[in-house]
Amino acid sequence: MSGAIQRSHATETREVLRAYRVTLDPTPDQESMLAQHAGAARWAFNHALAAKVDAHERWKTAVAELVAAGVPEEAARKKIKVLVPGKQVIQKALNAVKGDDRKGIDGACPWWHTVSTYAFQSAFLDADMAWKAWLDSLTGRRKGRRVGYPRFKKKGRSRDSFRLHHDVKRPTIRPATTRRLLLPRIGEVRTHDSLKRLKAALGRRSGVIQSVTIARGGHRWYASVLVREQMLMPAPTRAQQAAGTVGVDLGVHSMAALSTGEIIPNPRVKARHAPALAKASRAYARTVKGSRRREQARRRLARLHHREATRRSTGLHHLTKRLATGWAVVAVEDLDVAGLIRSAKGTVDKPGRRVRQKSGLNRSILDVSPGEVRRQLDYKTGWYGSTIAILDRFYPSSKTCSGCGGRKPNLTLSERVFICTICGLSMDCDVNAAVNIARFAVASDRGETLNARGASVRPSHLQVGRPDALMREDPPEGGPPQHSDALASSTPT
């Protein structure tokens, strides 16, 4: 099957969830309220997670006791049932013990009334999701990279953020003007960017605000407003159709190589920012704990980290928009990112080779983040009338000659030019891979990854020939406890 894709010319309307992100300009009072909400959300997440971990520990202890009494382990695991509490259960239990400092009643969180109740509720949901993601990943229900055991959030370490919902019939999250966003409990917050696009979505596209996520990034606060809206999915333009398919090879030597022969250089954001970051972190390390200078140095460091992150994100957005608007079909490799960047260290029995070199390579791969490129392409192609095509991850795109189809084994990553020993083709090896990707990728249903035969790709944990990957799939001691009632119900939008 070739990369040519038939697409109906009629435009269709689709209901989509779209986030509108704006920078906030809060007053000092509002800023402390935002921080307070973020603190409450962190507290609530940790509270909920602690309840789950506690249940899990009780289950493990009970199983261990049975095993000690002579019951086979498998049977013991099946026999012991412990309910891991979900959002509803935790919320109800907390209501009884939370206290109220307005009435002088001490409790778990007597300050609860100072923040929106949604800050608690969404944190409980997040804890449910984190637990479920770990459990599903453990039992193989969840695709992709292994998800670790949920961790507690730490002040100053974890990102400050919280999510607020509202009753969509009587919206309390809405743009008051093009420059002011109304938030429940916090009030009207001035925005640094215009809310015009958000207002347009609410008007013309009959969008409905679902929730708002507020997060701190560096020294600024951002609001991401999630809107359910009717979106017109356009057909490809004539220019896009004329351009046809573009194959994209992501990120080893360059940010991307296109099948047209164009090479988009690696922004190397990390490398460029490294000296300034190193300097700032040294300065920070030299300051005295608790001093005013330390706080200044911390802020400076955070700003640098933040700037690096925004630059990287801008570069990726430019690339994905250009691809989605310039061609009718964007073909990418179904890159197993986790596999590519997996540490080269190897295992004790079989230590890895060229660990230093490979970790340098890992850094530049991470600079481009193929997973993020793929995610952006998934929705942007829909917006701009193009489609995404995925190449089976087992297709050796970099080892195959794009001229004659011959295979060239034992390719090392340091070889920049692909020279075919059969037909004599000589081409940049990333471009050669991009041409193969354009030719052999298969159109993908939105969100579904298919291989060349149209079957779903195998889950990564079943991959063979990668001992280090298999080693990581050993279930941690204890194993999965029982599901809670709330885990299955109420998923956030």
Catalog residues that contact Zn ion under the rule CB under 5 A. Answer: 401, 403-404, 406, 420, 422-423, 425
Task: State in angstroms the smallest separation of the CB of 391 from Zn ion.
Answer: 19
**How is residue 444 written in tokens?**
């993908």
Among residues 274 and 422, whose Cβ is nearest to Zn ion? 422
Provide the 3-class DSSP secondary structure of residue 329.
Answer: strand
| Identity of the residue, 4 or 423, whose beta carbon is nearer to Zn ion in the bound complex | 423
Find all residues with CB under 8 Å of 34, minimum gap 6, and list them: 24, 26, 186, 214, 216, 221
Closest CB to Zn ion among residues 75, 404: 404
Q: In whole angstroms, what is the distance from residue 12 CA to residue 138 CA?
A: 39
Nearer to Zn ion, 414 or 421 (CB): 421
Residue type, 321: K
| Smallest gap from residue 394 Cβ to Zn ion (A) | 21
Which H/E stretch holds residue 45? helix 28-68
Cα separation, 206 vs 227, whole angstroms: 10
For residue 139, which amino acid is it?
Answer: T
Could you give the CA distance from residue 220 to residue 215 in angstroms, rounded to a whole number?
Answer: 8
Rounded to the nearest whole angstrom, what is the least distance from the CB of residue 308 to Zn ion in the complex?
A: 41
> Where are any strands of DSSP class E within 408-468?
417-419, 426-428, 442-443
Kindly tell me which of 412 and 421 has the beta carbon lying closer to Zn ion. 421
Sheet holding 174-177, edge to edge: 174-177, 180-183, 187-190
C-beta closer to Zn ion: residue 261 or 476: 261
* Residue 32 vs 426, nearer CB to Zn ion: 426
The minimum distance between CB 403 and Zn ion, in angstroms, equals 4
CB of 411 to Zn ion, least distance (A): 13
Show the tokens assigned to 144.
Answer: 């992709």
CB of 410 to Zn ion, least distance (A): 16
Whether the CB-CB separation of 376 and 316 falls below 8 Å is answered with yes
Smallest gap from Cβ 424 to Zn ion, in A, equals 7
Shortest Cβ distance from residue 158 to Zn ion (Å)?
Answer: 52
At its nearest, how many Å lie between Zn ion and the CB of residue 428? 15
Helix, strand or coil for residue 389? strand
Distance CA 461, CA 469 (A): 7
Relative orientation angle of helices 269-286 and 355-368, to the nearest 10 degrees: 110
Residue (105 or 411) nearer to Zn ion, CB = 411
Handedness of CA 79, 80, 85, 86 (dihedral sign): negative
Of residues 360 and 406, the one with the C-beta less far from Zn ion: 406
**Collapsing DSSP states into helix, strand and coil, what is residue 492?**
coil
CB of 407 to Zn ion, least distance (A): 9
List of residues 6+ apart from 442 with CB closer than 8 A: 1, 3, 389, 390, 391, 392, 450, 451, 452, 454
Reduced to 3 states (helix: H, G, I; strand: E, B; else coil), residue 341 is helix
Give the position of tokens 């507690």. 152
Give the residue with the Cβ less far from Zn ion, 148 or 405. Answer: 405
3-state per-residue secondary structure call for 168-192? CCCCCCEEEECCEEEECCCEEEEEC
How far is CA 470 from its chain centroid? 23
For 174, residues 6+ apart whose C-beta sits below 8 A from its C-beta are 181, 182, 202, 209
Nearer to Zn ion, 404 or 470 (CB): 404
In this structure, the chain runs to a length of 493
Which of 417, 385, 380 is closest to 401 using CA atoms? 417
- CB closer to Zn ion out of 195 and 401: 401
- Rounded to the nearest whole angstrom, what is the least distance from the CB of residue 421 to Zn ion in the complex? 8
The CB-of-435 to Zn ion minimum distance in angstroms stands at 11
Q: How far apart are the first and last CA of the chain?
A: 37
